Homo-oligomer: A and B are copies of this chain.
Amino acid sequence: MSGDVLQHTDLRQSRRFLETYSPPKINGEFAGKHIISVEQFDRRDLQILFDATGSIRRRIKQQDRGLLELAAGKLMATLFYEASTRTDLSFQAAMRHLGGEVVAASNGVHFSSVYKGENLADTIRAVGCYSDAIVLRHPDVGSSYEAAYYLDQLNKQIARQVIVISGGDGVGEHPTQALLDLFTIFDFKGQIDGLNITLVGDLRHGRTVHSLAKLIARYQAENVVLNLVSPPLLRMPETVVQYATAKGITVRETDDLYDVLPETDVIYWTRIQEERFDDPADYEAIKDRFIMTPPVLAQAPDDAILMHPLPRKHEMGTPDDHDALDADPRAVYFRQMENGMFVRMALLAKVLGGLWV
């Protein structure tokens, strides 16, 4: 080792914490628990969370200032090792609507240079010295597990309970995105049981669709059909498909949207990135079949909903297509985004709740 650069062999591997650290199951009790995986939740936990989300949304619309008591005196830090302005903003707005305070322990893209090579184990504890909850966004799979492990060590020393909430770790999980997606389905369709749900796009690399598929499975919904629509090259990983199938979900894989569109209740649209293809010709051959436009949506049932994790680009056509889609009552992606704040409010209130309130 020389100078200020740690050699690679000295670095802890975040990924190994995936094996050695077990995220705490919620089991109906959220207070003081890290939120780092959808695997922590079962159907009852999700129902508790969604009930709380609905209640919080109602109170926001009624301008109930009692909400400002739910996290008063609590401090949430955002620690983002890569930029994700929307996730950052959604968490910040959630915490502030609960009367809590927020400090930004990072500024996105420039973060790496700021801490000059300090490792995550130390940084997470440093931030933990000042805060009650830390929202962590990190490019390495397993980083939120590592953060949870080291916060557990810190908590013993400082006699407080600092928790970490994953804001996405690399190609791993993004649990709160899955929670808001499932809540949105529940919100518009009234239930999950019996639904025909279609995920479209790059299902191979899309963290969002992996987490959502897993969470639908964890909800143990009955009679759910999950359609997975992607180019052959970009199919859902087999592990996720097996996870869903093992929980009783009927999975159908296809590369033709029109096979499933007419009977779908929920369309979840995502982007396919050209750079995933080694040969540009492969991309050119399939891209037009993965663009949502008004004529495509016309073939969906009248009571279907069209979701998208946003931001969107050409996978919803031109700006004029955007405008036309936005005017369709089936397009719910902006309300889906708004729900993100409500779900995060419910989650923050619950995990922080056992401490001061």
* Contact A126 B310, beta carbon cutoff 8 Å: yes
Contact with B along A239-259 (1 / 0, CB 8 A): 000000000000000000000
Asked whether A115 is an interface residue with its Cβ less than 8 Å from the other chain, the reply is yes
Select the stretch in A136-144, A152-160, A292-300 that faces chain B: A152-160
Interface of chain A residues 102 through 140 with chain B (CB within 8 A): 102-110, 113-119, 121-123, 125-127, 129-131
A16: B residues at CB distance < 8 A = none
A4: B residues at CB distance < 8 A = 273-274, 313-314
We find that the number of chain A residues with CB closer than 8 angstroms to chain B is 79
A314 to B118, CA, bound (A): 10
A113 to B341, CA, bound (A): 24
Number of copies: 3
Select the stretch in A20-28, A85-93, A202-210 that faces chain B: A85-93
Asked whether A18 is an interface residue with its Cβ less than 8 Å from the other chain, the reply is no
Binding site for B on A (CB under 8 A): 1-4, 6, 10-12, 61, 63, 65, 67-68, 72-73, 75, 77, 83, 85-86, 89-90, 92-93, 96-97, 101-110, 113-119, 121-123, 125-127, 129-131, 153-154, 157-160, 273-275, 310-314, 318-319, 322-323, 326, 334-335, 337-338, 340-341, 355-356
